[in-house]
Structure formats: structure tokens, C-alpha cells
Chain A
């Protein structure tokens, strides 16, 4: 009962934003309406329901850690057991063209979430206003456009690979935010340039191992610049998030503060501060290039993430992917890498009992977000029908024993290496 009340209070906040957006945008659209155009629009159904999904099974060879798709997943796959856990997704979307200029969009997706459940989640719920064909304003729940292709990474059918490269998209646990974005597209330098800004607040929870991290209420904003010319697309992205809450690493901060008081050690207080993520900002910088022509697809992307919080390690990642269509088959090969930098912070506490256990716990916490690995990906996509694709993929992940952020449930013997074999079926309807 209590959960139900919380669910409805949460939903009503989302609904409030959505309907407020409609309230303000609807009159704008109607005011600019052309009755002939509306009549034409009405001939093509004004309400469209569409869906997408992935049925996928995968196995990861290591029995020392579980492979996950991205940092939002609480559980992974391991020990050579086939599982549909990480890749299976089902989404439905309704688009309602209210007027020529205003469209309402709602999307719900069922996938493995922070709480190990697949309860459908409202991923998009917004009103889009296109006053002119080259401008767009969206208000409501929107996709977090933190990196190129990030806001469509749950739609397997749209991608060449079985899943988005985990080395690149792995650290992204944001999928949506409640707010606004605005974009404008103009011809420039023989091609097309698009500029977009966005701002809002997240309404998500994520997980780090066993600890749920409630990041709802965190402020996000960013800018995106795209450029298209012929088969080329170039994207520059900047986004930042200011966290509303700290990741729960209790009782470690209290222990450090107590030890600092007893021993009069400022370094212990500094170590406790480093564990706080509340009110710290993380910044995401990324660059993407896509070439797509006559069956040849190539993508190259790079990102760097900088965190103010000492608990979260700064990282950079990149990937290159090439696929070439042969009839209905598109074999592909990719290489990706993800590396973070350890902070090198110490507590300054003596290496004797009982402080040695605090030092150990601090060292483990500071290594929670460490990644140092690269992946070779080989696979093929088979377009069985114009709306169904099968994919098989093999990923050889090679990292070091400290690379624990990209996995779950790592054991003492984790050596950073595993092979993942995936068979997926993606569809849209």
C-alpha cells in the first residue's frame, strides 16, 4: 500500500510536467494552424503506436565477475551460463500529432533496472513543438543526450552491434531527465549544422554493486553540436550533472571522521570528504564521427568524464567500429577501450589495527569506479525482414584485476579477462 502511494505520488509529478507542457504548447500550435494541412494530417492517422524490443541471450566465460551492459544494471552474467538477463528489452511508444506543430510522445520500457526488476518505466513523456521545420522545443521527460547515440541505446534494431559498446556507454547510468531541450538546424559550410541545448533534473536511481544510489533531483544540462555532410556526421557533446545525493558508503565516512578527531589528522577528514558525491558535478565530454554510405558503416567515438567527487575516478574511453553489408548480412569488427585514473588518495591513518581495516575499506571504495580494459568485438547482423534482425557477437574483454567498475560481483581471483558470446533478435513494430 505504501509503495502504491509512493508510485502514484511519483507518477503525478511526471504527469504534472507533461500536462503543464501540453497546456502551454497546445495553444501555440493551434494558433498557427492551417486547416487544410490539418485535414491532410488527419488522413495519416494522428495517433501512432510503435514498439521495439530485443530478445537476447549471452554468456560470459569468467566465473570471477559478472559482465554487465552498463553501470545501471545490478546483476550481470557469469560462469559460462546463458542468460537473457542483460540484453532483453521491450519498449512501446505512442506519438500523438495534435496539430502540425505539436506532437505528444510517451514511451515506456521494460528492462533490467537498479532494483533487479523489469517493471516498465516511463522513459519519455513530452510535448514537442516545431514552430518552424528547422526548430524544435521539447518539454517533459526527455532522453539524456549525453553522448552520440546515447538516447537510442536501448533500441537494438537501430544499431549494428548486439549492444552498445560497454567500454564506451558503460559509465552512463542516465537514461532520461525531466526538463526542456531546444534545437535549431541550419545549412552551413556545404552541409547541415544542428545546435541543441538541454536542462532539467533526473528522476532515476542507479546502483553500485549492492548499494542503490538515488540520483533523482540531480541537475543536468548540456549542449550538442552536430554537423552532417554527405555520408559524414560529426558530433560534439558536453553535458554535466550535479548530484543530489551521495552514494552510500556508510559507515566509512563516520569512521574516518572519528579516527581523524581522535588522531587529529586532517588527511582523514579529507578522505571522508572525498567519499561525498552530494553537490559535486560530473562533466561528460564526447566526440563522435559516423560514416555511412553504400553498405559501409564506420563509427569512431571518444569521451572523457571528469568528476569533482574523489570517490569517482576520471576516465576516458573510445571505440572504433566498422561494418560492411553483404546482401542481408553485415559483418562487423570493433575495438574499444576504457581507462580511469586512480586518485591516489590516502587516509593518513597508521597501518595498524583498528585503523588498517579503515584504510582497506577506503582503498576499496576509492577503487569502486576503476576501469582499465579494452575489448575486441566481432559479429554479424542479419536483416531477416525489414523490421527484424538477428545478431551474433563475440567480445574479448581484456583488462587488469583492478578493473571492477565495468563488472559486478568481482571475486578475489578476478583477472579482468572474460569472453562474452551473444545471440540477439532485435525487432521493431
Chain B
């Protein structure tokens, strides 16, 4: 019950402070407990494309994706690797159906993503900076993805 109330509070806070922020501030975040302060773009590409899921401090990297229909997912992959969602799906269909690595876990909202990031060290996700700065100081921005 408390957990549910907390979720609702966080979600309401996110909505309040994220309004008006442009997508220009797309950031990759993890929790303080993960123990890293930065990731290179190449690191994030390797983690999200399933090539190498280890953080610089050797902890397993657990990437989180947003739902297929979300605008932020589209922006994230476009800025990260210059690919459309169709191209990302095509990429993953090759790996999934040849029995190689699995795509990132998909969560339905940034709220769920942040909850997971704060709870499980090693988890990384992408959110708007506006959401991050007003939400929780336990989150660490490890990479900014410029327009």
C-alpha cells in the first residue's frame, strides 16, 4: 500500500516537473549504489545492443527499455545509434531468433524504470533530465545524449 502511494507520488512529481522540458535533455541514469559516475556512448551502445553488458566497475549492466509506442524510446535510439525503431526491431529479431542475447527488459513508464534503477544496482535507464533533477538525488547521470 505504502509502495503504491509512493509510486503515485513519484509519478505525480514527475508529471509536474517534466512538463515543458524538451527532449533535448535525454540522459542515461543509474543509481548511486551502482558505483559509477560516467559511461561512454560506446559503453551504452554495447549494453543496449546486447554486445557487452558489463559496467566499467565489472558489475553486470541491466538495461531498461521503454514501451514500443513511447516517444522517448524513439528519441533514445535515434540519438544513440541513428536508428529507427524498425531498424532496432530488425536488429533484435536477428539476435533473438538466432538464440543469442536478449533485448533489454521493457517497463511501461519512466516511473517504473526509476523505481527499478533505485532498487537494483547495475540497472541503467534513459529519462528526461527534467524528471531526474527534480525527482531523486540518488540517481546519477552517466551520459547525456545531445540532439
Contact = CB atoms under 8 A, between A and B. Distances in A.
B85 A151 contact: no
B12 interface: no
Interface stretch (B1-9, B15-23, B29-37, B92-100): B92-100
Given A40-B116, A158-B97, A133 B53 contact: yes
A383 B97 contact: no
A121 interface: no
Contact of B96 (A36, A50, A159): A50
A234 to B, nearest CB: 13
B97 to A, nearest CB: 5
B86 to A, nearest CB: 4
B97 A44 contact: no
Interface residues of B, number: 33
B86 A386 contact: yes
Contact of B54 (A50, A52, A95, A134): A134
B79 to A, nearest CB: 11
Contacts, number: 99
Contact of A386 (B51, B85, B96, B105): B85
Interface string B57-101: 000110000001000000000000110111101110111111101
Contacts of B116: 40
B10 to A, nearest CB: 17
A133 B86 contact: no
B120 A228 contact: no
Nearest to B43: A187
A194 B46 CA distance: 13
A187 B89 contact: no
B94 A158 contact: yes
A143 B90 CA distance: 19
A143 B87 contact: no
Contacts of A138: 99
Contact of A133 (B61, B107, B119): B61
B90 A158 contact: yes
B98 A151 contact: yes
Contacts of B84: 325, 328, 383, 386
A137 B99 CA distance: 12
Contact of B51 (A228, A294, A389): A228
Given A124-B99, A138-B99, A192-B52, A230 B89 contact: no
Contact of B87 (A124, A155, A325): A325
B82 A295 contact: yes
A159 B97 CA distance: 12
A44 B106 contact: yes
Contacts of A428: 89, 93, 97
A157 interface: yes
A334 interface: no
Contacts of A185: 51-52
B82 A294 contact: yes
Interface of A: 36-37, 40, 44, 50, 52, 91, 93, 95, 97, 103, 105, 107, 124, 126, 128, 132-134, 136, 138, 142-143, 149, 151-152, 154-155, 157-159, 185, 187, 192, 194, 228, 230, 293-295, 325, 328, 383, 385-387, 389, 428
24 contacts: A36-B119, A37-B120, A40-B116, A40-B119, A44-B107, A105-B99, A107-B97, A132-B54, A132-B60, A133-B54, A133-B60, A133-B61, A136-B101, A138-B99, A155-B98, A158-B90, A192-B46, A194-B51, A293-B82, A295-B82, A386-B68, A386-B86, A389-B90, A428-B97
Given A228-B51, A293-B81, 11 more contacts: A44-B107, A52-B97, A93-B97, A132-B60, A133-B54, A134-B53, A152-B93, A152-B94, A157-B93, A325-B84, A386-B89
- Lowest 10 CB-CB distances: which A-B pairs, in order? A158-B94, A294-B82, A383-B86, A152-B98, A133-B53, A151-B98, A133-B60, A152-B94, A158-B93, A155-B97
